[in-house]
Structure 1
Amino acid sequence: MEHAEFNKDLLKFLNASPTPWHAVATMKARLDAAGFEELDEKEDWSLGQNRGYYVIRNGSSIVAFRTGTEDTALSGIRMVGAHTDSPCLKVKPNPELRRKGYFQLGVEVYGGVLMNPWFDRDLALAGRVTFVDGRDTVRDVLVDFSKPVAFIPSLAIHLDREANSNRTVNPQTDLPPVLMQVPEDDTTSFDSLLSQQIASETGGKVRKILGYELGFYDAQEAGYVGLRNEFIASARLDNLLSCYIGLRALLDTSGDEAALLVCNDHEEVGSVSSEGAQGPFLNAVLDRWCGAGKAKAVARSMMISADNAHGVHPNYMDKHDENHGPVLNQGPVIKVNHNQRYATNSRSAAVYRHISDELGLPHQTFVVRSDMACGSTIGPLTAASLGVTTLDIGVPQFGMHSIRELIGAEDGHTLFRVLREFMQRKQIF
Structure 2
Amino acid sequence: MEDLMLNWKNGHLRVDETTSQQIDAFAKDYMRFMVAAKTERESITESLRIAKENGFVDIEEIKEWKPGQKVYYVNRKKSAVFAILGQRPALDGVNMVAAHADAPRLDLKPRPLKEDEQIAILETHYYGGIKNFHWVSTPLSLHGVVVKSDGTVVQVSIGEKDDDPVLVIPDILPHLGRKIQMSKTMDEAIPGESLDVVIGSLPMKGEEKEPVKKYILQLLNDTYGITEADLLSAELEVVPALKPKEVGLDRALIGAYAQDDRVCGYTAFRALLDMTFVPEKTAMVIFADKEEVGSMGNTGMQSAFIDNFFSKLIALSKPSFTPLDLFEAWNKTKVLSADVTAAVDPIWKSVHEMQNAARVHYGPVLTKYTGSRGKGGANDAHAEFLAQVRDAFDKENVVWQMAELGKVDEGGGGTVALFMANRGADVVDIGVALWGMHSPFEISSKLDVYYAYKADEAFFKHVK
The match for 1:126 is 143
Maintained 8 Å contact 1:143/1:197? no
Q: 1:66: which partner in 2?
A: 84
Secondary structure at the aligned position of 2:314 is classed as helix
Which residue is equivalent to 1:84?
101
Of residues 156, 168, 177, the one that matches 1:143 is: 156
Equivalent residue, structure 2, for 1:225: 247
**Does residue 20 of structure 2 align to residue 20 of structure 1?**
no
Q: Which has the higher helix share?
A: 2
> 1:107 is paired with a residue of what secondary structure?
strand
Give yes or no for contact 2:109–2:124 (8 Å, CA) kept in 1.
Answer: yes
1:154 aligns with 2:171: yes
Q: Which residue of 1 aligns with 2:367?
A: 335
Contact 1:331/1:411 (CA < 8 Å) preserved in 2? yes
Q: Is the 8 A contact 1:129 1:213 kept in 2?
A: yes
Residue of structure 2 in register with 1:373 after alignment: 411
Q: Any idea what SS the aligned residue of 2:235 has?
A: strand
Matched, 1:274 2:292: no
- Give the secondary-structure state (helix, strand or coil) at the position aligned to 1:138: coil
Contact kept? 2:86, 2:278, Cα under 8 Å: yes
Tell me the distance in 2 between the aligned counterparts of 1:65 and 1:417. Answer: 17
Rounded to whole Å, the distance in 1 between the matches of 2:228 and 2:403 is 53
Within 5 Å, give how 1:376-415 maps onto structure 2: 376-384=414-422, 386-415=423-452
- Counterpart residue number, 2:266: 244
Shift in Å, 1:179: 1.3
Identity %: 25
The structure-2 alpha-carbon separation of the partners of 1:151 and 1:340, relative to structure 1 and needing over 3 Å to count, comes to closer
The structure having more radius of gyration, on CA atoms, is: 2
Partner of 1:114: 131
Listed as ranges, the matches of 1:85-100 within 5 Å are: 85-100=102-117
- Counterpart amino acid of residue 401 in structure 1: H
- Find the aligned partners of 1:113 and 1:315 in 2 and give their Cα distance: 20
The equivalent of 1:350 in structure 2 is: 387
Matched, 1:314 2:340: no
Q: 1:255 to 1:283 in 2, by over 3 A?
A: farther
Q: Measured at CA, do residues 287 and 190 of structure 1 come closer, stay the same or move farther in structure 2, by a change above 3 Å?
A: farther
Label 1:17 to 1:47 Cα distance change in 2 as closer, same or farther (>3 A).
farther
In the alignment, the residues of structure 1 paired with residue 239 and residue 217 of structure 2 have an alpha-carbon distance, to the nearest angstrom, of 19
Report the equivalent of 1:188. 214
TM normalised by structure 1 equals 0.90
Tell me, in whole angstroms, the C-alpha distance in 2 between the residues paired with 1:231 and 1:261: 25
CA distance in 2, matches of 1:347, 1:17: 36
Q: Aligned to 1:14, what secondary structure does the other structure show? A: helix
Contact residue 256 and residue 424 of structure 1 kept, 8 A: no
Give the gaps of 5 or more residues in structure 2.
1-20, 316-320, 370-374
Contact 1:249 1:416 in 2 (8 A): yes
C-alpha distance in structure 2 between counterparts of 1:176 and 1:214, whole Å: 14
In structure 2, give the amino acid aligned to 1:51.
Answer: Q
Could you tell me which amino acid in structure 2 is paired with residue 10 of structure 1?
Y
Secondary structure at the counterpart of residue 121 of structure 2 = strand
CA distance in 2, matches of 1:399, 1:306: 18
SS of the residue aligned with 1:244?
Answer: helix
Shift, 1:164, TM fit: 5.4
Once the 2 structures are TM-superposed, how far is the Cα of residue 156 of structure 1 from its aligned partner? 0.3
Paired residues in the alignment total 413
Q: Does the aligned pair in 2 maintain the 1:398–1:406 contact within 8 Å?
A: yes
* TM-score, normalization by structure 2: 0.84
Structure 1 stretches of at least 4 aligned residues deviating more than 6 Å after TM superposition: 205-208
